[in-house]
Amino acid sequence: MANDRNSFIFRLVITLFVILVINFFLPRMMPGDPFSTTSADMPGEDIIVMTEEQRLYYLEYYGLDRPLHEQFYTYITNLMKGDLGRSIFYRKPVSDVIILHLPWTMFIVLGSTLISTIAGVVLGTFSAKNRKKGSDRMMMTGMIAFAEIPSFLLGLVLLLVFSVHLRLFPLAGAITPFAHYSGLAEHVWDILHHAFLPVLTLTLAQLTGVYLLTRNSLITVTTKDYIRTARSKGLGERTVWTRHALRNALLPVVTRTGFMIGIMMGGVVLVESVFSYPGIGMTLRSAVIGRDYPLIQGILLVIAVSILICNLLVDKIYSKLDPRVSI
């Protein structure tokens, strides 16, 4: 048991180190640097082109003129002190920028994960109970066809239909600018109103995966001997499905949920760009455009560590659901 624990910790340390290496070198593999061109992301704003003297001055100021191994050593040293660096574009600590934007992303990611998981399990269970019937075939065909639509295209369609034509939801943002709320309930409603379409987009993008996994798992589980034994004991069909079949079929769904959060954290960049939602994905896009190395590194590190934590939690939950499994 101790050897397994040590092996797990060793793998975790190696994984973190590889993440840090990729996190540092990947932004620097992009053409250009933060000071070749400093441009605004919004139309109509000025584009500032620096002189060569100014560019060299800022490269030296931020330490970007040093050899890469020295920059990497400084990055690791500062990281061990809890310092993610200072954003070149925002001119403030990277941690402050992330703290400002991360809650918006976590709100829509966790919300869509919860909704898509519940909806996928419910629909998958219904489809498994009605296997080979017309309703099952129709739902299966629709889900598979729906899964082929990219999340950003789905977001554009929802935006055009519900925001542009029907005008039921806002076009952009997370809250109404300069709004004065009469109370907390009105403020919360405004946030939910703005988040509805981004959450719906992420939910629909992940729904098919949960649905298919639940359906196929239930179909496999219901052929097992312990299901036949439960039925032979006179247990009702509802009890057989909820206490025996569904509980065992949910094991791979739990694993899928952990990976789904990681997939959403990657796909949220495009979805937030479509809805101009001020989350970490939109911030990462701006950082990549401006070659803001410290901010790119900080955001990618937070995303990677979040995915690792989610996977660890999934392993813990999995071991509780199935005592035969342990880390």
Of 89-98, 128-137, 166-175, 190-199, the poorest mean pLDDT is in: 128-137
State how far the Cα of 78 lies from the Cα of 93, in Å rounded to an integer.
Answer: 12
- Nearest-CA neighbor of 121 among 208, 196, 198? 208
- For residue 74, the 8-state DSSP code is H
Task: Check: CB of residue 129 under 8 Å from CB of residue 241.
Answer: yes
Query: Which runs of consecutive H residues, i.e. helices, occur in 148-183?
Result: 151-158
Query: Is-above-0.85 flag for pTM?
Result: no
**pLDDT over 70 at 318, yes or no:** no
- For residue 93, the 8-state DSSP code is B
Tokens 């071991």 correspond to: 319
Share of the chain above pLDDT 70, in %: 83
Instruction: Report the sign of the C-alpha dihedral through residues 198, 202, 208, 211, in that order.
Output: negative
State how far the Cα of 195 lies from the Cα of 209, in Å rounded to an integer.
Answer: 22
Tokens 């239930």 correspond to: 218
Q: Which of 42-51, 251-260, 288-297 has the highest mean pLDDT?
A: 288-297
State how far the Cα of 216 lies from the Cα of 221, in Å rounded to an integer.
Answer: 9
Say what the pLDDT of residue 196 is: 92
- Residue 64's pLDDT band, with cuts at 50, 70 and 90, is confident
Task: Check: CB of residue 258 under 8 Å from CB of residue 314.
Answer: yes
pLDDT in tens, 150-160: 888 888 899 99
**CATH (residue range 94-321):** 1.10.3720.10
Over residues 46-57, mean pLDDT:
68
3-class DSSP state of 311: helix
State how far the Cα of 258 lies from the Cα of 321, in Å rounded to an integer.
Answer: 15
- Summary mean pLDDT of the chain: 80
Say what the pLDDT of residue 41 is: 47
3-class DSSP state of 86: strand
CA atoms within 13 Å, Cβ hemisphere of 204: 20
Residues of the chain with CATH 1.10.3720.10: 94-321
Of 112-121, 214-223, 314-323, the poorest mean pLDDT is in: 314-323
Say what the pLDDT of residue 198 is: 92
- Residue 13's pLDDT band, with cuts at 50, 70 and 90, is confident
Q: How far is CA 209 from CA 98, 124, 125, 133, 147, in A?
A: 30, 10, 13, 21, 8
pLDDT in tens, 251-272: 777 777 777 777 777 678 888 8
Task: Check: CB of residue 248 under 8 Å from CB of residue 324.
Answer: no
| DSSP per-residue codes, 240-264 | IIIIIIHHHHHHHHHHHHHHHHHHH
- Nearest-CA neighbor of 296 among 32, 65, 84? 84
Over residues 234-246, mean pLDDT:
66
- Residue 42's pLDDT band, with cuts at 50, 70 and 90, is very low
178 CB-near residues (< 8 Å, 6+ apart): none
Say what the pLDDT of residue 199 is: 92
**pLDDT over 60 at 92, yes or no:** yes
Say what the pLDDT of residue 45 is: 45
First to last CA, the chain: 9
The residue type of 178 is: F
